[in-house]
């Protein structure tokens, strides 16, 4: 009889190849700080999402009009069209798109005046990688994988965002 070793559940989950039955969720990330934008795109990509980048709200709105996104993560203080203006445009166009506001300046007065603008989640800067991934999973109703490691590898470096998605 062959000797069969049994791996702990965490090891078994990480050693088996992922089975993909559905296409990855598409996320648009709007951020004016290139380092934060690159980090967010890299983290989301490593966690199995298809993430696109936009450095300003006008580019984001153009991308959103083409459709196909499952989630918008936006900073409020972005050039050309702010995060709140993006939410207004989305709601005005009757797009059923959840929004996570990832910002250092949440425009509370705007949300108080117009409660229908409230994003489904808010990440106040500085937020952690685990807060970002946890919020995305919660909004997209995806359970965390067993023993999922949220952190980045030690040799990780920031890559510039895809220039094709820049203004």
Question: Does residue 13 sit within a domain?
Answer: no
Question: Does residue 49 sit within a domain?
Answer: yes
Question: Does residue 51 sit within a domain?
Answer: yes
Question: Does residue 158 sit within a domain?
Answer: no
pLDDT for the residue 163: 55
Mean pLDDT of 111-116: 82
Mean pLDDT of 58-79: 93
Question: Does residue 161 sit within a domain?
Answer: no
Q: How confident is the model at residue 8 (pLDDT cuts 50, 70, 90)?
A: very low
Rounded to whole angstroms, how far apart are CA atoms 142 and 101? 19
pLDDT value at 59 more than 70: yes
Among 125, 118, 122, smallest CA distance to 134 is for 122
Q: How confident is the model at residue 151 (pLDDT cuts 50, 70, 90)?
A: very low
Question: Does residue 109 sit within a domain?
Answer: yes
Tokens standing for residue 144:
């965390």
Q: How far is CA 100 from CA 8, 60, 69, in A?
A: 35, 14, 13
Rounded to whole angstroms, how far apart are CA atoms 59 and 79? 10
pLDDT for the residue 138: 94
Mean pLDDT of 37-66: 95
pLDDT for the residue 111: 78
Q: What residue numbers bound the domain in which 57 lies?
A: 23-143
pLDDT value at 162 more than 70: no
- b/e per residue, 139-162, with b = 16+ CB within 10 A? beeeeeeeeeeeeeeeeeeeeebe
Give the total number of structural domains in the chain. Answer: 1
| pTM for the whole structure | 0.72
Question: Does residue 99 sit within a domain?
Answer: yes
Q: Which helix (H) or strand (E) holds 51?
A: strand 50-54
Question: Does residue 110 sit within a domain?
Answer: yes
As a dihedral over the C-alpha atoms of residue 106, residue 102, residue 97, residue 24, rounded to 10 degrees, the angle is 180
CATH number, domain containing residue 120: 3.40.50.2300
């Amino acid at each position: 009889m062959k000797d069969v070793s049994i791996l702990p559940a965490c090891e078994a989950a990480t050693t088996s190849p992922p089975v993909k039955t559905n296409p990855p969720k598409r996320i648009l990330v709007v951020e004016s700080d290139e380092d934060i934008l690159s980090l967010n795109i890299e983290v989301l990509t490593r966690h199995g999402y298809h993430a696109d980048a936009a450095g300003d709200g006008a580019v984001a709105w153009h991308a959103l009009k083409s459709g196909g996104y499952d989630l918008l993560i936006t900073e409020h203080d972005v050039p050309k069209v702010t995060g709140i203006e993006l939410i207004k445009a989305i709601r005005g166009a009757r797009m059923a798109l959840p929004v996570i506001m990832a910002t250092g300046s949440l425009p509370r007065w705007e949300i108080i005046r117009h409660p229908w603008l409230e994003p489904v989640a808010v990440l106040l800067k500085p937020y952690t990688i685990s807060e970002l991934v946890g919020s995305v999973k919660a909004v997209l109703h995806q359970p965390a994988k067993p023993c999922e490691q949220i952190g980045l590898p030690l040799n990780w470096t920031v890559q510039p965002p895809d220039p094709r998605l820049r203004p």
